[in-house]
Every structure is written in C-alpha cells, then in structure tokens.
C-alpha cells in the first residue's frame, strides 16, 4: 500500500513537473513596472476586497486607461487570488516575467513569431546569443497600440540653400 502511494505521488510530481516545463522560459529583462514601489502588488491588495465591477477607479490606478479590444477589465488578466501574478484562461498563474504566455493566448500568431525572433526588437549577436524583450517592454498592456513618436529630421534637400519657403 505504501509502495503504491509513493508511486502515485512520484507520478503526480513528474506529470506536474512536465506540465510546468511544457513552455520554455525565455530570458527577458525585468518587467517595466510604472514605478518601483508598485510591485509586489500584495503589499496593498492583501487586505482589500476584490471588486469585479467595471467602474471608474478613484483612489489608485486612476491613470490606467484600458484600450485593449473587447470589454477588458482588470481581472481578465490579473489573478484575484494573488495580485502578484497574472492569470491564464485556464486559471494557471504566471509570473510577470512570463507575461508573454498570457499575451500569446489571444495573440497566438504573434507569439509564435516572437519565439523565433521574427516579431519584436532583438539585440545581440546574429550568430549567437540574443536578448528577448517582454511584450510589455514595447506594448503597454492596458493600451497596447504602439505609441506614435516624433520622427528624426528629414534629409536635407539638395536645393535647401535656395528653396526656403517653397513646398514640394
């Protein structure tokens, strides 16, 4: 009896270990939190109620606007059981350093491309080690659309010294 229990325990441990390592870990820099004191979240959220109502936040996180398609609300991605983790669709908790797994659930195509290096900025060596970035390093998860920026100046026109006011 003891032997069978031991065998079953070992099998459960092995399968959960296998399950846990099904997704490869990608080496990424530290997640870009808005300020260094905001993490760990449980420092504040430990004793707070989890209010799932969609509303205008008044006391904290008022600066967060959610512009992510569909009717998104905080707990769609953040895990209410442990605010220091994110929540996959099946309830599994993932660390912020693995947030790509969460994004990849809806954005599967992009996720596959990111994994092989086609999507997203990478630095490093073309024949060696490369750095990955988290999705959130470029896309704010609350308003993910890539921000427009001011372009660097245009090349100087060949007739610049002559034509000051004329438009092309």
Partner 1 sequence: MKILKDSFIQRRKFLKGLMAGAAVALAPLTDSEASKFSFEEYFQKHFMEMTKEEKEKVLKRLADEYKQTYGKEFTVKATEAIPDVSFGYALNLSKCIGCRKCVTACVKENNLSRRPQIQYIRVLRLPKGSMDLEKSEHYYEADLVPEPNYYYMPVQCQQCRKAPCVKVCPIKATWHEKDGLVVIDYNWCIGCKYCMSACPYFGRRFNRGVTQIPKDEINTNVHYLGNRPRPRNVVEKCTFCIQRSREGKYPACVEACPVGARKFGNLLDPNSEIRQIIDKMRVFRLKEDLNNDGRFFYFFHN
Partner 2 sequence: MKLIKFLTGAIKEILIGSKLYYAWVGLLLALIAGMGYFYYHEFNMVQPEGSLEQHIIWPVYIANFAFLVGVAAAAVLLVVPAYVYHFQAIKEIAIYGEIMAVSAIVMCLGMIMVDVGRPDRFWHLLPFLGGILNLPSSMLAWDVIVLNGYLILNLIISFYLTYKGYTGEKPNTKFYVPLIILSIPFAISIHTVTAFIFNPLPARPYWNSAILAPRFLASAFCSGPALMVIILQIIRKFGGIKVQDTALFKIAEIMAYSMFFNLFLFGAEVFKEYYSDTIHLAPMQYLMEGLHGHNALVPWIWTAIVLDISAFLIFITLRNVRSVKLMNVGCVLIFIAVWIEKGLGFITPGFIPGVLGEIHEYLPTLPEIVCSLGVYALGFLIFTVFAKVVIAVETGRLKYSE
Can you give the binding site for partner 1, defined by CB under 8 A?
113, 116-128, 138, 146, 148-157, 168
Could you tell me the CA-to-CA distances from 24 to 20, 134, 162 in Å, in that order?
A: 9, 14, 60
The encoded tokens of residue 37 equal 């004191």
Q: Which does 149 bind (CB under 5 to 8 A by kind): partner 1, partner 2, none?
A: partner 1
Compute the least distance from the CB of residue 161 to partner 2, in Å: 4
Q: How far is the CB of 152 from partner 2 (least distance, A)?
A: 16
CA 13, 16, 22: angle at the middle one, nearest 5?
Answer: 140
Q: Which does 118 bind (CB under 5 to 8 A by kind): partner 2, partner 1, none?
A: partner 1
- Report the alpha-carbon distance of residue 129 to residue 28 in Å, rounded: 12
Residues paired with residue 32 on neighbouring β-strands, in sequence order: none
By beta-carbon proximity to partner 1, the closer residue of 45 and 144 is 144
| CB of 158 vs partner 2, minimal distance in Å | 4
């Amino acid at each position: 009896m003891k032997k069978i229990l031991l065998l079953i325990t070992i099998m459960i441990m092995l399968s959960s270990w296998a399950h846990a390592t099904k997704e490869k870990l990608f080496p990424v820099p530290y997640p870009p939190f808005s300020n260094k004191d905001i993490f760990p979240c449980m420092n504040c959220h430990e004793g707070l109620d989890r209010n799932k109502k969609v509303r205008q936040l008044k006391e904290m996180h008022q600066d967060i606007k959610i512009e992510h398609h569909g009717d998104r609300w905080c707990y769609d991605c953040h895990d209410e059981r442990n605010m220091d983790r994110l929540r996959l669709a099946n309830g599994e908790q993932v660390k912020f350093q693995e947030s790509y797994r969460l994004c990849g659930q809806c954005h599967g195509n992009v996720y596959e491309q990111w994994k092989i290096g086609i999507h997203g900025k990478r630095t490093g060596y073309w024949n060696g080690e490369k750095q990955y970035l988290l999705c959130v390093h470029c896309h704010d998860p609350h308003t993910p659309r890539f921000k427009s920026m001011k372009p660097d100046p245009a090349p100087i026109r060949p007739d610049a010294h002559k034509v000051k006011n004329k438009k092309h």
